[in-house]
Amino acid sequence: MKAKRGAAMLCAACLIWTGAAALPAPAAVCAAEEEAAPVFEGLKYEITDGAVTITGVTEDLEGEVTVPAEIEKLPVTKIGAGAFQFNTKITAVTLPESVTEIGAAAFKSCFVLKTVTLPSGLTEIADNTFLKSRKLESIAVPEHVKHIGEMAFANCDSLADLTLPEGLETVGADAFLYTPWMYAQREKNPFVVINHVLIDGKACSGDITLPSDITVIGEGAFAYNHDIINVLIPETVKEIRAYGIFDCNRLESVTILNPDCEIYDMKATISNNYARHEPFMLGTIRGFENAAAQAYCEKYEYPYEVLKAVKGDLDLNGKVSAEDAQSALNYYVKSIAGKNPELNDLQKEGADVNGDGAIDSADAQLILLYYVKNTIANHPTAWEALTAESGAESE
């Protein structure tokens, strides 16, 4: 005790003598008095509640590293937040099956790390876990992992081989941003979907209709996509997560066909502008009367348009197109095949363009003709004229 008191007094005397600022000295004194973290084979660790957490590595640790299952006869159960981050010498890491948790940014910016073997007991990959580990080439995410955090693998410039579990439920925003794996997925399909969750739609452009196998628009899926214009969200989509359609500055409309679709309660979830730290929706959100989308718009004072039946507009996006004609034909084919066609009441009303009470190939043909004359040929033609013309031809 006397030695410590003497050291502190000596430090104080030096500060007075030199006239130096007093701020850095207490931290230095405290650091000197703290016990150094224990080290096992280059791994720094701490013991809490009878288990070991790896907290860091020594500067001389390099090459291939295998983390032991036990240290001091206690199980190694956790890799602490930032434990390996900014390392420039370790090329491979194998984690034991005893590890059940990896902290945020644990392997962030490990500049020469190529491979990591993860334990099967993991249930989550935390935010920024492998962010900017630019040499990471391949990784298999264990089958019990349910959640991958924000930017978990972002900027892994070499990550082309990625295996994801079938039971994965949520993926954070930009989890795979700027990876070769993501680029390859976008080339296959601009809608990158994992287990019915749209995790990325940044390669989409123009007027888009989400595929019917999507049930969730994931966090940040369309964020900063400046190429989409009109978005049609089918009845199958039950949820739009945070920042799902954020700051898409060419966005004119979003049509939501599921009246019960849950929209993350935040103004930025759907927006086409962002100024002075405030998101805005200067376009229009469209949906059914008294739908969840209408409540969302009323809360955040966004423009909302109640959907109504429009002749020939089966997808309810406000336009008549070749896709509408195809939808009418698909409905007819499914009907005569005894299958259950997928059109709601408004769509059915819009599909019966000749008003004969049935939806068949004649309606599909009229819709296609209307599209060709009015849009392709730019020759405005009313439905009545097309119906009369079609009737004359049939006679």
Q: Check if the beta carbon of residue 103 is closer than 8 Å to that of residue 77.
A: no
Does residue 316 lie in a domain region? no
Helix 24-33 to helix 2-18 angle (10° resolution) is 160
* 215 and 250 part of one domain: yes
Cβ-Cβ contacts under 8 Å for 92 (sequence gap 6 or more): 63, 64, 65, 113, 114, 115, 116, 117
pLDDT-derived band at 344, boundaries 50, 70, 90: confident
Strand ranges across the sheet with 90-94: 63-66, 90-94, 115-117, 138-140, 161-163
Q: Is the pLDDT of residue 36 over 90?
A: no
Looking at the structure, do residues 117 and 252 belong to the same domain, yes or no?
no
pLDDT bucket at 12, cuts 50 / 70 / 90: very low
Residue numbers of the domain that contains 1: 1-34
My answer on whether 303 and 339 are in the same domain is: no
pLDDT, tens only, 356-367: 999 999 999 999
Domain check: are 45 and 20 in the same one? no
Query: Is the pLDDT score of 22 beyond 80?
Result: no
The predicted pLDDT at position 9 comes to: 39
Do residues 336 and 282 both lie within one domain?
no
C-alpha distance from residue 212 to each of 46, 145, 193, 246 (Å): 50, 26, 11, 22
Q: Do 90 and 173 belong together in one domain? A: yes
pLDDT of residue 217: 97
Residues 19 and 102 in one domain: no
Q: Between these two residues, 166 and 53, which has the higher pLDDT value?
A: 53
Enter the DSSP assignment of 375. Answer: I
My answer on whether 256 and 201 are in the same domain is yes
Q: Does residue 329 sit in the same domain as residue 267? A: no
Residue 348 shares a structural domain with residue 257: no
Same domain, 137 and 82: yes
Report residue 102's pLDDT band, with 50, 70 and 90 as the boundaries.
very high
* The pair of three-digit structure tokens given for residue 102, joined into one six-digit string: 């990896």
The mean pLDDT value for 186-208 works out to 95
For residues 74 and 167, state if they share a domain.
yes
Among 129, 159, 188, identify where a domain stops: 188
Least trusted range by pLDDT, from 21-25, 208-212, 252-256: 21-25
> Is 370 part of any domain?
yes
Q: Considering the entire predicted model, what is its pTM?
A: 0.79
In the predicted structure, residue 6 carries a pLDDT above the cut 90 = no
